[in-house]
Structure 1
Amino acid sequence: MMSGVEVALDGASSPSWSQRVRAGHDLASFSDVPEAAKALVGLLLDVEDTAVTRQTAEALARVGTVAAVRLIALALAEADDSHADWMQTGVHDVLAGPDSVPDVAAVCVQLARDGEAAVRQGAAEILAWAGGVTH
């Protein structure tokens, strides 16, 4: 019997966009697990459907851990303008929502000291997004 993470990893490569969206949501809380992290970056950069990009970014921002936000920052380094826009929309969906959300800006400040230049650059971009949202 497969674990929840294994099922979600399997869903991340599904031909169905809705299954990939579900996988992004299910894997977000496992963003510190290397296999999940790799799949999540792939979902953020999904070549077939930007709904997967948006929903995965939203799920990661809602988790709001350093590991989760770091994946958005990493994916931004490889993203084209369309994917970057949909990641921004997903993050905004969380930040502008009525629910209590993690302090994504504080996480980005931590990521500004990351050893990887792409993460530092992506974190700066996400921090700029977070600064433009008011509750």
Structure 2
Amino acid sequence: MMSGLAAALAEASSPSWSQRVRAGRGLASFADVPEAAEALMGLLLDIEDTAVTRQTAEALARVGTVAALRLIALAVAEADDNQVDWLQTGVHDALAGTDSVPDVAAVCGQLARDPEEAVRRGAAEITAWTDDTRR
């Protein structure tokens, strides 16, 4: 299991956007591991390719843990408007998928009580996105 983590961490800094996308998908289930969380934040806020941002956000939303959604919330709080659009698209992709997706809104409700203001702000924005997909 850790060898998968090590390989994904190595791909996270690749110059190839497709390898960074693969890293985002591979690291999503390790969102609670500090090294993975740091790499995931870099992928969520990737300045070179919006596909990396979008697909990493989708992978994290599909995992749906507090740790995974906390990273998306932090990224939302730090992102520029363009990045926020792609983060939102990634979350929508996860929610629109045919697979069973965790209750993102419920997890964001937990994050609304996070001690870090940026997390609370980002979680509120993600909650609004989930409201949009329910209509």
Normalization by structure 2: what TM-score? 0.97
SS at match of 1:102: coil
Equivalent runs, 1:109-124 vs 2, <5 Å: 109-124=109-124
Q: Unpaired segments of 5 or more residues in structure 2?
A: none
Between the aligned residues of both structures, percent identity stands at: 78
Residue 96 of structure 1: aligned partner: 96
CA RMSD of aligned residues (A): 1.1
- Runs of 4+ in structure 1 deviating by more than 2 angstroms, as ranges, are none
Aligned pair count reads 134
Aligned to 2:58: 58
Q: Distance in 2 between matches of 1:97 and 1:60?
A: 13
Counterpart position of 2:48 = 48
Alpha-carbon distance in structure 2 between the residues aligned to 1:99 and 1:21: 20
CA distance in structure 1 between the aligned counterparts of 2:97 and 2:15, rounded to whole angstroms:
30
One-letter identity of the residue aligned with 1:50: T
Secondary structure of the structure 2 residue equivalent to 1:133: helix
Residues 100-124 of structure 1, C-alpha deviations (whole Å, 9 max, x = no match): 1100000000000001000000000
Give 1:4 deviation, angstroms.
1.1
Instruction: Output aligned runs, 1:1-135, within 5 Å.
Output: 3-134=3-134
C-alpha separation in 1, matches of 2:18 and 2:25 = 11
Query: In structure 2, do the counterparts of structure 1 residues 16 and 49 end up closer, same or farther at CA, with 3 Å as the change threshold?
Result: same
Point out the structure with the larger helix share: 2
Equivalent-residue separation in structure 2 for 1:48 and 1:90 (angstroms): 16
